[in-house]
Amino acid sequence: MTGTIIAKLIAFDRGDRHRVNHALKVTGYAMAIASGERLSGGDKRILEAASILHDIGILPALEKYGRADGKAQEELGPPEARKVLASLDWSDGDIRRVEYLVGHHHSYGMDGGPLLQILFEADFIVNLDEGQFPSQSPVSIRDRYFRTPSGITVFNALF
């Protein structure tokens, strides 16, 4: 199933390697953190789909607004994630959970539960690696936003 979601993202993003690779890296870190946090299989499935699709709002935001900031992504990403998962016969309840994560993945510091926290942490790791926060120290980001023991361990090993 994961491969199908990835294939749909590749087609949706029109083969944009950077965006697809970003999603795959976030998914890898999210799954590593989730394993350390001992999430259930169902929660891992939701987190994995949300991690793959977390930035699916970028292209619609660029087309609609000419920008793709976090607010625009959070607005336009959930309906696109719904379309992808509905085409794969996901239940409405599971789709709503993924929509929530996609729709809040830039609401840093929000207490949205363990899945959103893991998605924040995985996305921060990749964004830092990709140079997205050049004026902020990685340690300050860790201290401000990381809460899971596994996320902190992964962060410390990398930075």
Q: What is the pLDDT of residues 107-128, one digit of tens each?
A: 987 889 999 999 999 999 999 9
pLDDT at 76: 98
pLDDT confidence band for 102 (50 / 70 / 90): very high
Q: Are 148 and 33 in contact (CB under 8 A)?
A: yes
- Of 146, 155, 106, the C-alpha closest to 126 is 155
User: What is the CATH number that goes with domain 2-158?
Assistant: 1.10.3210.10
- CA 144 – CA 109 distance, rounded (Å): 8
Counting other chains too, the contacts that 139-144 makes at CB distance below 8 Å and 24 or more residues apart are: 144/109
Residue 1 has pLDDT above 80, yes or no: no
| 28, 29, 35, 36: CA torsion to nearest 10 | 160
pLDDT tens track for 42-56: 999 999 999 999 999
pLDDT tens track for 70-98: 999 999 999 999 999 999 999 999 999 99
Q: Does the predicted TM-score (pTM) go above 0.85?
A: yes
pLDDT at 15: 82
At residue 31, the 3 state secondary structure works out as helix
pLDDT at 45: 98
pLDDT tens track for 20-40: 999 999 999 999 999 999 999
